[in-house]
Amino acid sequence: MTSLKLYEIEPEYIDYISAFAPHLFHNKKPGQSHDRKYIGIILHINGFDYFAPLSSFKAKHYSMKESIDFIKIKKYAVINLNNMFPAPLHICKYINISIQRDKKYRDLLLAEYRFIKSIQDKIRKNAQTLYHLKLKDDNSTSLSKRCNDFKVLEEACIKYKPK
């Protein structure tokens, strides 16, 4: 499988799919400079390509321990694999870090990406394990309750029609 990459995903799709995934954040909050980035393809299963949102590192993350569904990207960002979701490739745009105009932001993305690449096997293994645990356990464990319902998201992905 190819290396993980950073993507942006069309806001229209994120708005659509978030109705089926209550924990999924939208692409951009008011006043935010940059659109949310997603890591992909972290999992290819049942014909679906899965992406995970990248979130900025916050003070609360210092005290949180990594787990199968929560991975720290040093002190730069975090990946919440429980919020991964399928998306059609035609609405996902690969991010070419080298052409980012804002040098500070470009340097941040590059640092995040380098670390993500160094742990991509762990990210993919955790994503696959998490996917199978959610299917097996449904909502019977605290871990599975935190996860998106991947089967529901896959059905929603199939039914998605751009406006």
pLDDT in tens, 71-98: 999 999 999 999 999 999 999 999 999 9
Element at 54 (helix H, strand E):
strand 48-56
Name the domain count of the chain.
Answer: 1
pTM: 0.93
Q: Tokens representing 62?
A: 């210092």
**CATH code, domain carrying 66:** 3.10.129.130
Mean pLDDT of the chain: 92
**Is residue 137 classed exposed, middle or buried when 0-12, 13-18 and 19+ CB atoms within 10 A define those classes?**
middle
With contact defined as beta carbons under 8 Å apart, do 17 and 53 qualify?
A: no
Residue 110 belongs to what domain range? 5-159
